[in-house]
Chain A
Amino acid sequence: MIGTTVASPSGLIIGAICGLVPLLVGLRYGKIRAGLLAWVACLMSGFACGVLGGIPMIVLATAVVISYAYVDKQDPFTSRASLEEVNFEESNFEYFMRQMSRLGRTLRQYWRALTRNKAGFVGFLGLMFFFVMLTFGPLLVTYEGRARIDRRQPGASSLFQRPSAEFPLGLDWQGRSILSHVVYGGQRLIVTALQAGFATTLIAVTLGALAALLGGALDQVVVALANFILTVPQFPLLLVIATVARDQFKNPLFLPLLLGALDWPVLMRAVRAQVLSLRERDYIQAAMALNLGLPHVIFREVLPNLISYVVVNMIFSTRAAVYQLVGLVFLGMVPLQEPDWAVMIYMGRQQGAIFNADAISMLLSPILAIALFQLSLVLFTRSLEEIFNPRLRTGL
């Protein structure tokens, strides 16, 4: 998986076929511009991820197109007639259209919320840049894994080279194109960090919600454990575990789980506090009085109020995981695997890039890539807050 990409030219064809659905719907309802945009969206998403990207995009894009077309339709609910005159019976097709247009309206609201916050939108664009680079980049740039001694210039003391027209980011200590390492080197780092962020959030939300809802001994044990982990210095502990458990690194899920296991306490305490306050709200009590059931209370009443907080914190956990991963690699505590931005920094330092003016790009490229990715993550949270808060989303 790593070092390759799911993007392929055949995906273009898949995307183009998928895009026909919203395009035809757009033509049928006279919304040609929306239909064309939807077709492009399907095309790109099919190109990037094949069937996995194309099929879901059919639903989303079609919903958006329908939401432009269906608004004029006479829904009995909007009529001003009396109850006796209104006919609420509707065919399955009408129901389907109504639901799709609702989904489409929601998606457009999300998009508006996303673009309204300038900082958040910049973050979103940054993340899209990295997504495009990691998926489409491999189609344009070939990865150079082997040393290229033949590129040594006459009289040069090393294989390092400054950026040139042929090699936009220069060559590394083995004469390989740094650009190819930048393009390929983010995949493992970002995927591992996302997994770690997800693991952290999953542990924190489960334990936090259970501790708050059930209370008692469980609450005390969980909080005590969290406090214990919080007291131990995180990074030294990580180093110790990484050293002791060297053999485990063959399992690609070990590192994300390890990071998650050390990172959850802060978020857990916050989630617990939120749930404790949420469960006393009047609308929770009203749901109890209406006997809507515990699953409804947890998933429909409590969780939607937490989701923005949780997702924003998942992003922050991902950000923290990136730095921890880079730190571990930089100290050489985990097995090195190329291509990887962190490994580039590590090898650059090892090979004396700090003291070599020709090698400046060897260190700066991965550092900039990591820093920009982190910045995009942090900025993007601003938009996420607007998306998940109905008050901000509906703009009133």
Chain B
Amino acid sequence: MNAPSAAQTAAPLVSLRGIYRSFEKDRREIPVLQDINLDVYSDEIICLVGESGCGKTTTGKIAAGLLSPSRGELRFEGRLASEYRTRSERMALRRSLQIVHQDPFASLNPTHTIGQILSFPLRRHRMVENRAGLRRRVWELLTLVDLTPPGDIVNKYPHQLSGGQRQRVSIARALTVNPRLIVADEAVSMVDVSIRIGLLKMLHELRQRFHLSIVFITHDLALAKYFAWEGRIAVMYLGRIVEIGPTPAVIGHPAHPYTKALLAAVPEADPDITRRKKQMPLRSEDIPSLTAIPAGCSFHPRCPFFQPGVCDHTVPALLPAPQTGQLVACTPLAQSGTLKPYA
């Protein structure tokens, strides 16, 4: 997509093309995703950020192949997902895409011990040759996610572990099948703040060691900035990607009014900085309902740079921003290169 680095010139690992997804509620179609285009290259971190309900998780689930899109295509290593036909091909595809859930209390079955939880996929996919291999692999996985000594953990039930420990078990379970991509769906947001950094560091190390791609879904821009500094950020709003590009560009020079608003709203630890920080007043605090998405640019009812007659008519395309190069979906910016405040 935009300015791929040398390592990214190869075909993307996973690519979403023109993805639409809607859910039916009370016999009405609710469009959750509209025209999502996203490439995830191998060995890359990509962060999906946005308010709750913007479609981050749905995008993640589609990328992980757990949810089929209503329209559009999912490609894995250049091949359509539907072209993986034989049983072994589908198993391999399934293994390559894994997910780590948000809630570490709900993602582990309370009736199994940690050893069992890790053994099931290892045995099912014949990742180990024999009993000794199985035990060695479980030991290795627990050590990988810093759950040491493994002997203290392996016979415990999930409820006997802390939230952070469970999240590590979740990650270890995803690693059992040697995946290429892990979708981390708010993977640290339900863990104590003091443990988050440790988990993120561990994810980074695992990514480098196993050349994983990580799709990191979060609502916390500060977290996204920390975690994906070497990767890319995609900002989502009401089921569309409004801005996508390398993290330093998006965070340092946000182009889309919504990204600017999000960044302005991030609180700083230092109260002096927070006080001096320039606020960006939105015209409305309310997020429009998915059942009544505004015409044109869906952000226009809240946008402080709203231009009547332009923004409420045409759906903006993702185009390179004037100086910084990230892709941004904003019609006035594309036409004139600057944003004028709404009178």
Could you tell me if A77 and B97 are in contact, using CB atoms closer than 8 angstroms? Answer: no
Whether A77 lies near B139 (C-beta < 8 A) is yes
Is A1 an interface residue, CB under 8 A from the partner?
no
Which residues, 142 to 189 on B, are CB-close (under 8 Å) to A? 143, 149-152, 154, 157, 159-160, 170, 173, 176-177
User: CA–CA, A292 to B125, complex, Å?
Assistant: 8
A290 touches B121 (CB 8 A): yes
- Interfacial chain A residues near B159, Cβ < 8 Å: 390-391, 394, 396
Residue-by-residue, is A65-82 near B (CB-CB < 8 Å gives 1, otherwise 0)?
Answer: 000000000011111100
Q: Per-residue CB proximity of A381-396 to B under 8 Å, as 1/0?
A: 0000000001100101
Q: A224 to chain B: which residues have CB within 8 Å?
A: none
Residues in A with CB closer than 8 Å to B64 are: 289
**A285 at the A/B interface (Cβ < 8 Å)?**
yes
Q: In residues 241-299 of chain A, which contact B (Cβ within 8 Å)?
A: 281-283, 285-293, 296
CB pair B124–A391 under 8 Å, yes or no, is: no
Q: Which residues of A contact B173 (CB under 8 A)?
A: 286, 290
**Of the residues B97, B106, B111, contact of A289 by C-beta under 8 Å:** B97
Range, interface on chain A = 20 to 34
Known: A289-B94, A289-B99, A391-B159. A305 touches B109 (CB 8 A): yes
Which residues of chain B are near A305, meaning CB under 8 Å? 109-111
Instruction: Report B-chain residues with C-beta under 8 Å of the C-beta of A79.
Output: 149, 151
- Give, as a whole number of angstroms, the nearest-CB distance from B13 to chain A: 17
**Distance of A147 from chain B, by nearest CB (Å):** 57
Residues of B within 8 A of A304 (CB): 109, 111-112
Q: Is B23 an interface residue (CB 8 A)?
A: no
Q: Which of A161-216 contact B (CB under 8 A)?
A: none
> Please, how many angstroms separate the alpha-carbon atoms of A281 and B105 in the complex?
10
Closest to A308 in B: B111
Given the complex of chains A and B, what is the CA–CA distance between A257 and B94 in angstroms?
Answer: 44
Q: In whole angstroms, how far apart are the Cα atoms of A390 and B114 in the complex?
A: 13
Choose one: B151, B157, B177; the contact of A290 (CB below 8 Å): B177
Chain A residues whose CB sits within 8 angstroms of the CB of B1 once the complex forms: none
CA distance A288 to B136 in the complex (A): 25
Contact call B139/A86, Cβ cutoff below 8 A? yes
Neighbour of B136 across the interface among A80, A88, A301, CB < 8 A: A88
Across the interface, name the chain B residue whose C-beta is closest to A291.
Answer: B94
Residues A300 and B120 in contact, CB atoms below 8 Å apart: yes
Residue on B nearest A390 in the bound complex, by CB: B157
Bound together, the chains give a CA A345 to CA B94 distance in angstroms of: 64
Against A, the Cβ 8 Å flags (1 = close, 0 = not) of B66-94 are 10000000000000000000000011001
Query: What separation, in Å, do the CA atoms of A297 and B170 have in the docked complex?
Result: 17
Please indicate the chain B residues that have their CB under 8 angstroms from the CB of A88 in the complex.
132-133, 135-136, 139
The CA-CA distance from A293 to B159 in the complex, in Å, is 25
Q: How far is the CA of A369 from the CA of B290 in the complex (A)?
A: 64
Q: Which B residues are in CB contact (< 8 Å) with A287? A: 109, 120
Partner of B149, one of A80, A286, A290: A80
Chain B nearest CB: distance from A164 CB in Å? 55
B176 contacts which chain A residues (CB < 8 A)?
290
**How close is B108's CB to chain A, nearest CB, in angstroms?**
6
Check: A331 CB closer than 8 A to any chain B CB.
no
User: In the complex, what residues of A have CB within 8 A of residue B91's CB?
Assistant: 291
Q: In the assembly, what is the distance between CA of A287 and CA of B95, in Å?
A: 11
B2 at the interface (CB under 8 A from A): no
Contacts of A293 in B (CB 8 A): 124
Q: A266 CB to closest chain B CB, in angstroms?
A: 25
Q: Mark A299-322, 1 if CB is under 8 A from B, else 0.
A: 011001100000000000000000
Q: Inside 8 A of B218's CB, which chain A residues have their CB?
A: none
Taking CB atoms, residues of chain B closer than 8 Å to A390 are 110-111, 157, 159
B residues near A291, Cβ cutoff 8 Å = 90-91, 94-95, 124-125
Whether A150 sits at the interface, judged by CB under 8 Å, is: no
Known interface pairs A77-B151, A291-B124; A286-B139 also in contact (CB < 8 Å): no
Tell me the smallest distance from the CB of B65 to a CB of chain A, in Å: 8
- Which residues on the A side are within 8 Å of B120 (C-beta)? 287, 290, 292, 296, 300
Q: Which residues of A contact B177 (CB under 8 A)?
A: 290
* B51 CB–A CB distance under 8 Å: no
**Chain A residue at minimal CB-CB distance from B117:** A283
A83 at the interface (CB under 8 A from B): yes
| CA gap between A283 and B159 in the complex, in Å | 14
- 23 intermolecular pairs with C-beta atoms under 8 Å apart: A75-B151, A77-B151, A77-B154, A78-B152, A79-B151, A83-B139, A88-B136, A89-B132, A90-B131, A90-B132, A282-B102, A282-B106, A288-B66, A290-B124, A291-B125, A301-B109, A304-B109, A304-B111, A305-B109, A305-B110, A305-B111, A394-B157, A394-B160
B residues at A contact (CB < 8 Å): 64, 66, 90-91, 94-95, 97-99, 101-103, 106-112, 120-121, 124-125, 131-133, 135-136, 139-140, 143, 149-152, 154, 157, 159-160, 170, 173, 176-177
